[in-house]
Amino acid sequence: MNILKIAKLGLLGLLALSTIQCGVESESMKLSKLITLTPVPESPIVINADITIDKGTENERTIKAPWTRFKFNLNNQSGQKFRILTFTYYATSTKGGGIVKAEGGFDFGSQSGEIYGDFESNYNGTHSVVIYLGSLPEADSFVYTVEFEAQGYFLDSSGEPVNRLNLSTTMVTQ
């Protein structure tokens, strides 16, 4: 009987410790919260005609309609260097009473490179990247809800990955 009580108390103790552990925020989560990803404008306009950008350069490309252009402001207050590896979007709207969807990704890391927490003073901790989001699904209106997810990692002083980076934000177009 005494052994049974001890076993029950031990089990309750382990359960209590695991509950406390689940409530602890990881270093990755703490650092990720110190970086904000903000679309500017908050509600960009959708255009329903193709456009060619960077004409006459090696970067010339056509953005297929419907499309929108906006800027992402990355504000890093973590004091840590990080790298974004994947940047995915999920766009939804309605057409004929149903939901239409599109998803894709950007090579965001090559556009933004490595972002630092100690920017030069003229950056005020913020780095901006212009995004053209084209080939949105045909819809009844130009209102799309677009969810963005970025994944990467924080780097130590030697450039090695040390903590996961997860960012997300949502915007609604007009």
Residue 58 pLDDT greater than 80, yes or no: yes
pLDDT band at residue 96, thresholds of 50, 70 and 90?
very high
Average pLDDT, integer, range 13-25:
53
Q: Under a CB-based contact definition with an 8 Å cutoff, are residues 154 and 81 in contact?
A: yes
C-alpha gyration radius of the chain: 22
Peptide bond into 41 cis (omega under 30): yes
Q: What residue spans define the domains of the chain? A: 1-26, 34-172
Query: What mean pLDDT value characterizes the chain?
Result: 81
Q: Under a CB-based contact definition with an 8 Å cutoff, are residues 103 and 90 in contact?
A: yes
pLDDT of residue 124: 45
pLDDT of residue 34: 87
The pLDDT tens digits of the residues spanning 128-151 come to 888 899 999 999 999 999 999 988
Q: What is the DSSP string of 45-107?
A: PEE-S-EEESTTSTT-EEEPSSEEEEEEEEEE-SSS-EEEEEEEEEEEEEETTEEEEEEEEE-
Topology of the domain comprising 34-172: Immunoglobulin-like (2.60.40)
pLDDT of residue 113: 46
- Token pair recorded at residue 22: 């689940």
pLDDT of residue 1: 54
